[in-house]
């Protein structure tokens, strides 16, 4: 994995958890709006919207650079629209990055021919 691919995946990983948190807070604000006089939906909607747009941009970049199969790319996109999916995406992306580092070190040490 080259540095640009690793950077693209890292950006996606770093935005996935905040996007998931903002989605959960937006859902909470929606409930509070309907049950109390508290209305933070416009603010949280904007915050979540920006984070979601960043997630989609970073997802497209990572898909393009990492050459993921369509199924893997679809999984990461579906995780972005589920309320807690960003947490699972972050964990899976972290594991993928760690595996790539291990493979690169193994190639460097001559353990694996690739």
Whole-prediction pTM value? 0.84
Within 13 Å of residue 31, how many CA atoms lie on the same side as its CB? Answer: 5
Model pLDDT, residue 112: 61
pLDDT exceeds cutoff 60 at 114? no
Two tokens, residue 79: 């995780």
d(CA 25, CA 33): 12
H helices of the chain, in order, are 3-35, 41-66, 70-81, 85-109
Residues 39-56 have pLDDT tens digits of: 999 999 999 999 999 999
């Amino acid at each position: 994995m080259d540095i640009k691919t690793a950077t693209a995946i890292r950006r996606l990983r770093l935005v996935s958890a905040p996007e998931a948190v903002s989605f959960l807070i937006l859902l909470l604000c929606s409930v509070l709006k309907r049950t109390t006089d508290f209305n933070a939906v416009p603010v949280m909607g904007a915050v979540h919207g920006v984070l979601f747009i960043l997630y989609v941009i970073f997802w497209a970049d990572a898909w393009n650079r990492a050459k993921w199969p369509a199924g893997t790319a679809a999984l990461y996109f579906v995780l972005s629209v589920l309320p807690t999916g960003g947490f699972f995406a972050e964990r899976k992306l972290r594991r993928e990055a760690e595996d790539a580092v291990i493979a690169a070190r193994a190639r460097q040490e001559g353990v694996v021919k690739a």
